[in-house]
Amino acid sequence: MDFWIKAAQLLLSLAILVTVHEFGHYLAARAFKIRVEKFYLFFDPWFSLLKKKIGDTEWGIGWLPLGGYVKIAGMIDESMDKDQMALPPKEDEFRSKPAWQRLIVMVAGVVVNVIVGFFIYTMVVSAWGDDALENDALKYGIAVNKNFAELNLGFEDGDIITAVDGEKVENAQLVNLQIFLRGYREIEVKKPSGEKKIIVLDEDINDWMWANDAVMAFNPRMPTIVDSVMQNRDAFKKGLTKGDSIVSINGVATPFFHDLQAQLAKQEGDSTLATVGLYRNGEYLDLDVYTDKNKTIGFLPQFPEWLKTTHTDYTFGESISRGFDRAGWTMYDYAAQLPLIFTERGATSVGGFGAIGNLFPPTWDWRIFWTNTAFISLVLAIMNILPIPALDGGHIVFLLYEMITGKEAPQKVLEYAQLIGFILLITIFLYANGNDAYKAIFQ
């Protein structure tokens, strides 16, 4: 049931976003009196589920939920309609219009996705407010990533980060993003003693964080209380249960969760025995548990009651500012991550529909649904504007070339570019979804 609820949310979200994206192209084309032959939600190879012709346009729903399209007359697109392109141009065709009009038609889908993303974020903040993890909630301060700590920059467990680049920290959950993706480098910390210290990071610290598994440089420091145990793991078989308080690994005290992770990381081999010391109902117990290749024993920690976010409601006017700020940073952060795809680690993290579907919870939550829909809308805008043939960005590149040189790209060049782009997109699609399948089966 969990799978179907996630799938339904993903399908509805994509249906909304594909429709508004294609509607952007449609409205721009019609504004310049360009004939639109088809408008389809989802693809319709061989047959469609529903279709109805209204005026010059066939409106329909395809059976293959991998996107959607508008077929604009006189344009080389995924339909590869060479017969139409071999005929003399007609007045109501895409190719008969000035380059600047064609450019607007191609940009319109991306523009609509951006507008929709900003609008939804604003409405989400207006309807549900916003949550932030304030420093007051960090009862034991921060835990420093073990790899990050080895740099000896001056960060210590128990510190509180009070400001980044001179801005007061209002949400401790954003600090890692601010350092890794947004270029913040001057970090003000408050030591457990009360002393304040300024730490300046190297400009290329983000590259080091990515290469050394230290993207999450800081996390809240909290005791290790078991929330749930994975049933296919040795810890479940040995009796580890919800509510257990783990205090040591192999006789070494682990008062906090990151201490436990550090001790488990010292285990040698893919599957080794670790002695887990814990308290259950006030009684001390030792459990001998096998770790896995990731040096974990298979449980999720419970977040303590005191580690909770602060909720703030906003007026509609305030929501516009907050929503735009959130949407703007979402686009910036996603664009900043794109170069990481071309690293070995980044390539293995690329995901398809499975990864996107896992953004949604196993129970229907409208706040999460609309937040994820806004995020995906902005991601679609960025992906579609990339200069890849077969995407909007590829068409835009050729149009800009025409506007600059005054010459249209040869039709054969456009046809081959469209074909190459389509093959590239199919390859990426198969790779991304193959990654999802591999992780589901083997991890």
Q: How sure is the predictor about 23, in pLDDT bands with cuts at 50, 70 and 90?
A: very high
Chain-wide mean pLDDT for the chain? 89
Residue 33, pLDDT > 90, answer yes
Q: Count the Cβ atoms, other than its own, within 10 Å of residue 294.
A: 11
The three-class DSSP label of residue 142 is strand
Instruction: Say which residue the tokens 């199919």 belong to.
Output: 426
Contact 276, 252 (CB under 8 A): no
- 31-35, 88-92, 104-108, 127-131: which has the minimum mean pLDDT? 88-92
Exposed / middle / buried, residue 108 (Cβ in 10 Å: 0-12, 13-18, 19+): buried
Top mean-pLDDT range of 22-26, 95-99, 421-425: 22-26
Q: Where are the alpha helices (DSSP H) in 338-385?
A: 344-349, 353-357, 366-385
Q: What is the pLDDT of residue 79?
A: 54
Name the residue among 323, 298, 280 with its Cα closest to residue 123: 323
Mean pLDDT in residue range 335-349: 84
At 82, the pLDDT band (50, 70, 90 cuts) reads low
- Residue 443 pLDDT greater than 90, yes or no: no
User: How far is it, in rounded angstroms, from Cα 423 to Cα 54?
Assistant: 33
Render pLDDT for 231-285 as a digit per residue (tens, 0 to 9): 888 889 999 999 999 999 999 999 999 999 989 988 887 788 889 999 999 999 9
Question: What's residue 31's pLDDT?
Answer: 95
CB 189 within 8 A of CB 197: yes
Position 16 confidence tier, pLDDT thresholds 50, 70, 90:
very high
Give CA–CA dist 356/375, Å, rounded: 11
Higher per-residue pLDDT: 170 or 356: 170
Q: pLDDT-derived band of residue 83, with 50, 70 and 90 as boundaries? A: low
For residue 74, pLDDT beyond 90: no
Instruction: Give the C-alpha separation, 385 to 65, whole Å.
Output: 21
Q: Does pLDDT of 440 surpass 90?
A: no
At 372, list the tokens: 């994820």
Q: Tell me the pLDDT tens digit for each residue of 126-166.
A: 999 999 999 999 999 999 998 999 999 999 999 999 999 99
Residue 316: pLDDT above 70? Answer: yes
d(C-alpha 247, C-alpha 282), whole Å? 12
Q: What is the pLDDT of residue 68?
A: 87
pLDDT in the model for residue 435: 76
> Who contacts 312 (Cβ-Cβ below 8 Å, separation ≥6)?
129, 130, 131, 132
Q: Please write the tens of the pLDDT for every residue from 189-213.
A: 999 999 999 999 999 999 999 999 8
**Contact assessment for residue 377 and residue 109, using Cβ atoms and an 8 Å cutoff:** no
Instruction: Tell me if 162 sits within 8 A of 128, measured CB to CB.
Output: no
Distance CA 310, CA 134 (A): 7
pLDDT, average across residues 44-65: 89
* Strands 186-190 and 167-168, bridge-based pairing: unpaired
346 vs 224: which has the higher pLDDT: 224
Q: How far is the C-alpha of 186 from the C-alpha of 166, rounded, in Å?
A: 7
Cα separation, 391 vs 66, whole angstroms:
14
Q: How confident is the model at residue 436 (pLDDT cuts 50, 70, 90)?
A: confident
Of residues 428 and 372, the one with the higher pLDDT is: 372
Q: Would the pLDDT of 124 be above 90?
A: yes
> For 62-66, 182-186, 288-292, which range has the lowest pLDDT when averaged over its residues?
62-66
Query: Is 283 or 65 the better-scoring residue by pLDDT?
Result: 283
Could you give the domains of the chain?
Answer: 1-32+97-129+313-397+419-425 (no CATH), 135-220 (2.30.42), 224-301 (2.30.42.10)
Q: Which pLDDT belongs to residue 107?
A: 95
pTM: 0.88
Query: Exposed, middle or buried, 353 (CB in 10 Å: 0-12/13-18/19+)?
Result: middle
- % of the chain beyond a pLDDT of 90: 62
Confidence of residue 346 (pLDDT cuts 50, 70, 90): confident
* pLDDT of the residue at 80: 52
Residue 25 phi, psi dihedral angles, 5° rounding: -60, -45
Lowest mean pLDDT among 86-95, 105-114, 171-180, 307-316: 86-95
Which residue blocks in 204-297 are alpha helix, DSSP H? 205-211, 234-238, 257-264
Three-state DSSP class for residue 34? coil
